[in-house]
Amino acid sequence: MTKYIFCTGGVVSSLGKGVAAASIGRILKNRGLSVTVQKLDPYLNVDPGTMSPYEHGEVFVLEDGAETDLDLGAYERFIDENLTRASNLTSGQVYQQVINRERRGDYLGKTIQVIPHVTNQIKAGITHVARKSNAEIVIVEVGGTVGDIEGLPFLEALRQMRKDAGRENTFYIHVTLLPHLNTTGELKTKPTQHSVRELRGIGIQPDMIFCRADLPVGDDLREKIALFCDVEKRAVVPLTTVETIYEVPLILEDAGVAEFICERMDIACHSPDWGEWRSMVNHIKKPKTRITIGVVGKYVELEDAYISVYEALKHAATNQECEVKIEWMSSEDLERMRGFDRLERVNGIVVPGGFGERGIEGKVVAAKFARLREVPYLGLCLGMQVMVIELARDSFENEDAHSTEFNPTTPHPVIDLMPDQRDIADLGGTMRLGSYPCHLVEGTIAAAAYQTDLVHERHRHRFEFNNEYRESLQEAGLVLSGLSPDGRLVEIAELRDHPFMLGSQFHPEFKSRPTRPHPLFSAFIKAARIQAGLTNREAPVITPEPVGQE
């Protein structure tokens, strides 16, 4: 029978429950167990696809096209498994399903209530991911903190799961904070005690407590928490702030978390092999070289908006025993000729995806800089489109060349909706989401990076390269190095006679893993390392044009 591990959080949000849940998955998978992870989000949105990145960070796209919480990116990176839309359940989905069933008459005229109808729907979502994945262990993280009103139905459903699945098949982990008071120099346990008391008031007794802290947690504090929260001392696990999140599974391993879980849940497993993972962590902590990469976007104030890009860059750099320093650059600043000097200091430029006109001209400036200065450039989704727009403006000697997403009346719509999309009124109907095949053209940078001729990558966009401009832009130096199998869609474009200027219509960052970096990011980092040694090359002067704010 499937085993369930439930992760809740207390005291404050942003403690790293997602990393904790993912790390538990990693330590159990390393013991030969099949694992999957699910996120329960109490917000009323059906999914985060319509949310601003400022609200909830990046939208992580799965193979099946589901737009999900960014924590699912952490899950995939840690357990190295592709998840499905069943792995992200929101209050919006739950209430939508309950109301749809009520309208169909599925409840046979009964009064619909939070208990049992809403909680039953939540439990159905949890058991569904178990059946769909066939995993031996399902790890379920509940968003928010204990005490949040919107999270109560989810916690009640988790309480009921112990009765439904059996005590030996359920395990509860509570992640809390031990705050440090500068005035006394102490870590305080009282918030953790109150958080556990709140959880027990709901009917859930945690089997294990993870204590987040910025300072070492002594045995005396562990004993105190064990006493007041009614858990074993070895079930009180300190999680102090570390240099890299990929060190967390090693901390849990050294603390005996996996052995405790397997003992309590009567799980047979073999000894783990941490050689590759420890080597990766050591490379992160002791790099041999350092490069600087500029990430140009409009949400750079919130790094979580580009968390998968950041992690993919780190994966590729670590694999090459290199440290990557990220220069977060506002595309709006570049539009207004601010921060242009920072471009001079980078060894490579990444322009990630995005929607909307704000900051678009600053991204064009970054692409122009990379082309003229021969600085390695990696464009992701919109970043590829920006690269095409900039080349078209230069080739056609017309600054009005654009995407119809931003200028519907442009005389040169080099980026446009496909003809069969234009009559679809629903924007969701024009969105290309999820995994699509891409055929690579032999002799290109992309083909050399992948070392294969067919790949599958994840998309999240509406607009495409306009095929009417294929010939003219190829004459200008554009190489169409990745195409859909039928040849209709341009998936990868690169610039001829440039060290590395490549853009993908898809999001390669979603498939990068810490021990298996994405080929395009690896090739980009390699080009940036080469660039870091080219300090004497003569550089042309670029003067950006000032652009008014939208």
| Residue 4 near residue 170 (C-beta atoms within 8 A) | yes
- Is 507 catalytic? The answer is yes
How far is it, in rounded angstroms, from Cα 192 to Cα 146? Answer: 11
Indicate which residue of 136, 247, 405, 509 is catalytic. 509
How far is it, in rounded angstroms, from Cα 10 to Cα 151? Answer: 12
**CA angle in degrees (0–180, nearest 5) for 248-253-254:** 100
| Residue 221 near residue 187 (C-beta atoms within 8 A) | yes
Give tens-digit pLDDT for 241-276: 999 999 999 999 999 999 999 999 999 989 999 999
- Is 509 catalytic? The answer is yes
| Residue 466 near residue 416 (C-beta atoms within 8 A) | yes
Would you say the CATH fold of 289-532 matches that of 3-278?
Answer: yes
How far is it, in rounded angstroms, from Cα 292 to Cα 433? Answer: 31
Q: What is the second-level CATH architecture of the domain 3-278?
A: 3-Layer(aba) Sandwich (3.40)
For the chain, the structural domain boundaries read 3-278, 289-532
| Residue 146 near residue 195 (C-beta atoms within 8 A) | yes
For the segment(s) 289-532, the CATH number from 3.40.50.880, 3.40.50.300, 3.30.70.20, 3.40.190.10 is 3.40.50.880
User: Which position has the token pair 């000894």?
Assistant: 271
User: Which position has the token pair 């390699």?
Assistant: 526
What is the pLDDT, as a whole number, of residue 291?
Answer: 96
What is the pLDDT, as a whole number, of residue 419?
Answer: 67
CB neighbours of residue 127 within 10 Å? 16
What is the pLDDT, as a whole number, of residue 355?
Answer: 87
Predicted TM-score of the model (pTM): 0.92
Indicate which residue of 7, 211, 229, 381 is catalytic. 381
Nearest to 39 by CA among 58, 22, 15: 22
DSSP output for 161-206: HHHHH-GGGEEEEEEEE--EETTTTEE--HHHHHHHHHHHHHT---
- Is 402 catalytic? The answer is no
Give me the amino acid identity at 106: D
Nearest to 349 by CA among 324, 320, 322, 332: 324
What is the pLDDT, as a whole number, of residue 541?
Answer: 41
177: exposed, middle or buried (Cβ count in 10 Å: 0-12, 13-18, 19+)? buried
- Please give the sequence-ordered ranges of beta strands (E in DSSP) within 274-345, or none if there are none: 289-297, 322-330
- Please report which helix (H) or strand (E) contains residue 13, including its range: none
What is the pLDDT, as a whole number, of residue 537?
Answer: 41
Query: Tens-digit pLDDT profile for the chain (550 aa)?
Result: 899 999 999 988 888 899 999 999 999 999 999 999 999 999 999 999 888 888 888 999 999 999 999 999 999 999 999 999 999 999 999 999 999 999 999 999 899 999 999 999 999 999 999 999 999 999 999 999 998 999 999 999 999 999 999 999 999 999 999 999 888 889 999 999 999 999 999 999 999 999 999 999 999 999 999 999 999 999 999 999 999 999 999 999 999 999 999 999 999 989 999 999 999 999 999 988 999 999 999 999 888 999 999 999 999 999 999 999 999 999 999 988 888 889 999 999 999 998 888 889 999 999 999 999 999 999 999 999 999 999 999 999 999 999 999 999 999 999 999 766 555 544 444 689 999 999 999 999 999 999 999 999 999 999 999 999 999 999 999 999 999 999 999 999 999 999 999 999 999 999 999 999 999 999 999 999 999 873 334 444 444 444 433 3
What is the pLDDT, as a whole number, of residue 341?
Answer: 87
**HSE-up of residue 172 (Cα within 13 Å, Cβ side):** 22
- Omega of the bond leading into 116 within 30 degrees of 0 (cis): yes
Distances (CA, A) of 367 to 377, 383, 466: 7, 8, 19
